[in-house]
Each structure stands twice: as C-alpha cells, then as structure tokens.
Amino acid sequence: MRVDKYLWCVRYYKTRNMVTEACKKNHITVNGQIAKPSKEVFPTDRITFRKDQITQIITVLDIPESRVGAKLVDIYRKNETPPEAYAHLELLKLSKEHYRKSGTGRPTKKDRRDIDDYGDEIYDDEEQES
C-alpha cells in the first residue's frame, strides 16, 4: 500500500491530499529515508512524520483494506512515539494560555488601562533616572 493511503487509512491525516503535501515538504520518512507519496509500505516498516509539533513514530503491523474506524486503528499500527513528546505538547499549550485563556476575545477596557498604566510606569521610571 502507498504511504499516503496508509497514513490516511489509519487516521493520522484527514485527507490523502494532506499526506501528499507532508511528503512534498519532506515531513515523512519510511525506514529512515524520505518518502514520496507513492512509496510502498509493508508490515514491519517504521514510519516517522511530524504532525502538530510532535514527531510521530509508528510501526506498520498490517495493511488495511480501506480507511478503518478509530477503534480498529491499533490493529494496523504500533505507536512508538515517546511520551515526552506528548508532555512537551501539553507544556506548549499551557504556555500559550499563561495570560489569557483561549477564546476570551480581545482585551477588556480594564486590561487596556492596566497595559497603559504599566507603560506609563516604565516611562516615568526612565525620566527619573535621567
């Protein structure tokens, strides 16, 4: 089976076109070699690809006939991605939400005043030092 079809069948990508684009950008390797979308994969092949800021490592266990349900994916692949990669992703998500939670919109009037006051304090401190 082609690598683009395999990654689509085991639900790592939503469309085959997305897999093809990842191959063109050299994000996908099979057994350590950069793969074109038409590269054939066989059981025991090791596929490495970068998706969502995580380098995923999977081993092909079997070849599916067509796209499989989410519950059946583990029959066809073995996920060998280290847990540290997922921990790093969680850390990135938390760092983005440090000041404001996502989806809270633009700064409120109070937030804007706090930002302006902070800028005025820095400006006043610089004038006093001069």
Structure tokens at 66: 């067509």
pLDDT (average), residues 90-113: 73
- Of 47, 42, 13, nearest to 28 by C-alpha is 47
How many angstroms separate the CA atoms of 63 and 65, rounded? 7
Strand ordering across the sheet containing 46-51? 33-34, 28-30, 46-51, 54-60, 77-79
pTM (predicted TM-score): 0.66
Three-state DSSP state, 26: coil
Average pLDDT, the chain: 82
What are the strands, taking DSSP E only, across the chain? 28-30, 33-34, 46-51, 54-60, 77-79
Residue range 33-80, pLDDT digits in tens: 888 888 888 898 899 998 878 888 999 988 888 888 888 888 888 888
pLDDT value at position 13? 86
Residue with the bigger pLDDT between 35 and 120: it is 35
C-alpha span between 30 and 125 (Å, rounded): 58
pLDDT for the residue numbered 123: 63
